[in-house]
Amino acid sequence: MANPVLPSSGVLSPIGLDAVRLSPGFWGDRAALNREVTIDHCREWEEREGWIGNFRGERPRRGREFSDSEIYKLLEAMAWAGHPGLPALAETVAQAQEGDGYLNTRWSGSRYTDFEWGHELYCYGHLIQAGVARLRTHGEDLLTEVVVKAADHVCRRFMNGTETCGHPVIEMALVELYRTTGTERYLEMARRFVDRRGLPALADIPFGRGYYQDDVPVRQAQVFRGHVVRALYLASGVVDVAIETGDQELLKAVESQWERTVARRTHLTGGMGSRHADESYGEDYELPPDRAYNETCASIASVMLAHRLLLATGDVRYADLTERTLYNMLATGVALDGRSFFYANPLQVRVPAVPHDGVNHAAEGGLRSPWFDVSCCPNNIARTLASLPAYLAAGTGDGIVLHHFTPSEIRHGRLAVRVETGYPWTGSVRVRVLEDGAGRIGLRVPAWAADATLARVPVSAQDAPLPEGPVVRPVSPGYVHADGPWRAGDELRLELPMRPRWTFPDRRIDALRGSAAVERGPLVYCAESVADEPPLGDLTVRAEPPVERPAGDGAEGVVELEVAASLGGSGSKDGWPYGAADAPGDGGDVRLRLIPYHRWGNRGPATMRVWLPTR
């Protein structure tokens, strides 16, 4: 089946990417842009930067020690998207593979001399994920040959011993290769990599072993910690190993770590990571809006993990976090043109970008960058958008469940439905049965959706006048279900209330004290100020109901908001910013425009803030 995650058991079962056809709409548009623009954009940059040339033996070798992995992520994206450029790129990669399966353009000649920072197993992990995608969308070919040879090399070299890689990802890759090929040594190798971690397996470093989750064994950890992408890739692999080995204790450990991490180490956007120095979580309740790191890749890793936990348990919390992360992180990481990217995703930006020659390589201050020295994020976005349908729906015993609502057609088992919706701009979701069929249809009512309603409208009743018309019933957050049989034309109509709402932080989040944010549906909103005019530095809002407005740039359907604010009062503490209690700002009252966070950074250098100081 064409799907990146195929566990052999679980409450929910994956359905094939080809079973979900995206139509124009929020995600359909983004998937199309990715297929048509972003994938080629990535390939062009990887060629230009010499990272592809490394595989042809061009010297001097260029790029960071892990640059091979970017080409592999891109190959995975190409595989899921059915991109015609895959065979040629795979052929280039194959040139660099050595006779025993070893493949790495940086460390050939000094193999396995730096497990802490060398990233060799990390690169194999991404290579294997690309191979898995190819096997599941196409079948065996040169790429999959390379991948199997590399995986066999890894198993020979590492099955016995105590070594593992400073950057996890090999674990989930090997389990997926096992799931596809049935070769049990891949699972066993993954299991051993998981078990070795934290014994410890790696050297101590200035960041501490927690940086690469080698401080304690996975089973004993209480929370995700250290480098966020490493932590979440590892946890994803741990879930995969737990599922395939039936290790309930291991699964529970990850669930409990996830729970504390979401409760204490996650930003409102679903982003994770509060420290720039080591791209790490930081401590419980350390959630600064300005220095939030929230790496785009970390959000993708978070979706990968939550998806695995959702399939395993069916617990709606995992889908809720996935929705938050998709709409506010994945959609933010790439610009509306598909060619520029955020690496970090802070919730407050105080100074507009100062681009050099029109380019802002740091991707700070409201301008995305077309590329990075470490360009994991663009390729990671490409492979995720290319496989997005995997996350939208799942199979149940006798039916389907829709986690996320976007215009699409879904076929699974004896069910074929069309989803029609303006979500996330409107809260009306219509699920129309396309052919006579049977099976239960489940719909997720998001955690934020109080007062939602569901109506079942048989095709026979669609023209009937009230009171013979459809019965509308209130539904609570969680999954709601409707059972078949179904006639073609039958409909489920879900109404999610799309009132903007003020959201306040837990008292323990010191960095957000005295401020509030606005959300509407699954979207987090923010104030964006181009060139910081008007200035957002000394802002106060009144938490009165926000007013809905059409988008300032005319984008169809997009909902913007307005709130009452006072802007740009002069600071009271002259010369020294601490002293007697402050007087209220003397800035004039204004109507402050809020836009969806994922749409910020498309208007040039700007300041921005999600959390708004309240009176």
Positions that interact with a second copy (CB under 8 A): 206, 208, 259, 262-264, 266, 268, 275-277, 283-291, 317, 348, 350-351, 362, 373, 447, 502-511, 513-515, 517, 537-538, 540, 569, 571-582, 585, 611, 613
Question: What contacts 266, CB < 8 A, 6 or more positions away?
Answer: 272, 287, 321
In angstroms, give the least distance from the CB of 503 to a second copy.
5
| Cβ contact 428:493 at 8 Å | yes
Minimum CB separation of residue 105 from a second copy in Å reads: 22
Q: Which residues pair with 455 in a beta bridge?
A: 472, 493
The SS3 assignment for 133 reads helix
CA distance 137 to 75: 12
CB of 289 to a second copy, least distance (A): 7
Torsion region of 185: left, alpha or beta (phi above 0 gives left; psi -120 to 50 gives alpha): alpha
Nearer to a second copy, 144 or 294 (CB): 294
The nearest distance, CB 450 to a second copy, in angstroms, is: 11
The nearer residue to a second copy, 76 or 279, going by C-beta atoms, is 279
Tokens of residue 597, six digits: 């966070």
Q: Is the dihedral of CA 222, 227, 228, 234 positive or negative?
A: negative
Query: Please, which residues have CB within 8 angstroms of residue 508's CB and are 6 or more apart in sequence?
Result: 264, 284, 285
- Taking the least distance from each CB to a second copy, the nearer of 428 and 572 is 572
Paired strand residues for 227:
280
**Least distance between a second copy and beta carbon 206 (Å):** 7
**Minimum CB distance to a second copy, residue 532 (Å):** 11
What is the C-alpha to C-alpha distance for residues 263 and 252, in angstroms, rounded to an integer? 17
Q: Return the number of the residue (34 or 515) whose C-beta is nearest a second copy.
A: 515
Q: Which is nearer to a second copy, 113 or 578 (CB)?
A: 578
**Residue number with CB closer to a second copy (478 or 613):** 613
- Residue whose token pair is 């709606």: 316
Smallest gap from residue 34 Cβ to a second copy (A): 28
CB–CB of 203/212 below 8 Å?
no
Rounded (10°) angle between helices 228-245 and 296-313: 20
Q: Least distance (Å) from a second copy to the CB of residue 275?
A: 7
Q: How far apart are alpha carbons 307 and 102 in whole angstroms?
A: 31
| Cα 363 off chain centre by | 18
Closer by beta carbon to a second copy, 195 or else 538: 538
Helix (H) or strand (E) holding 592: strand 589-596
**Identity of the residue, 466 or 580, whose beta carbon is nearer to a second copy in the bound complex:** 580
